[in-house]
Copies of this chain bind each other. A is one copy, B any other.
């Protein structure tokens, strides 16, 4: 009822000032730093605000304060459960500080990269979170050149010196290798992620190393890639499984670069008549919710998805509000190997095609 005449369109600070009988500066202060204003005046202003329904215009405020209270989050694809939960964590960490999220969904469209670079250069955000494992470029310039605070989550970025928040992929890979070796498996496979990815590289290398430590012959560790594009998706799992089935001598245990890959992989080999884990043990990576609902329940290396996001947000806020980059801070979060139903001890006889060849393995 007390709604004031909307002069032009929105209610401005001037309307409130008039209503409260004070200057705009006082309104601004009463709202931002009430302790610097006489209580009675604060009350007047507060009431005027309530009466008018005033909300400060964010563009004007951003322009003036050189701060937008927004963060750009660049993610390979929002459709992946893993990233979705990291995003939730980011939101959890950012919201209390009054920051919002602008979503930068790459979604395998390289031209979008440039768009996010522009966004950053236009100062639409105060900081950047990279979940993509590389630094976006476009129009001949890179995000680093914005000078904006930036952190990398989920994946380290080689050559860059920004704070990183992620799990110890190398340690996890090692443990995965030792784990499967410890179950007695002597021929292992790795269902690969994207070839260029540091994360994939790390997991593969360390897995191999862990397996060797566990007593596996290096020649008996095979890397399986998809035929076309290999990413962390179901599709890559399907493709890797096809490669797997085509092998004359198959691994008895597989380590997969992601849960999606593991789930895709498992589907194909089960359709082919193999049983998990009797014929093949399968170990995933990520610990997405869906892995709790496969049958058998997927063994996997769980990453603290939510925490990665939350901690990443806190690190970034520190950079934004604290000011100085205090060198390349690095936060390693703990992983956890979940030994569940899709992994088991070495079966009596090696897994062969359902059409059993009379050919012995050489050795």
Contacts and interface: CB of A to CB of B under 8 A. Distances in A.
A47 interface: no
A91 B123 CA distance: 21
A107 B79 contact: no
Contact of A295 (B10, B66, B270): B270
Contacts of A145: 53
A353 interface: no
Interface stretch (A81-89, A129-137, A201-209, A323-331): A81-89
Interface string A68-83: 1010000001110100
A324 B62 CA distance: 29
A141 interface: yes
A122 interface: yes
A58 B293 contact: no
A111 to B, nearest CB: 9
23 contacts: A9-B66, A55-B122, A57-B63, A57-B122, A58-B119, A58-B122, A59-B63, A78-B87, A78-B91, A79-B81, A79-B84, A81-B81, A84-B84, A88-B107, A91-B105, A100-B119, A101-B102, A101-B105, A234-B289, A234-B292, A267-B295, A290-B290, A295-B295
Interface of A: 9-10, 53, 55-63, 66, 68, 70, 77-79, 81, 84-85, 87-88, 91, 95, 100-103, 105, 107, 112, 115, 118-119, 121-124, 141, 145, 234, 263-264, 267, 270, 289-290, 292-295
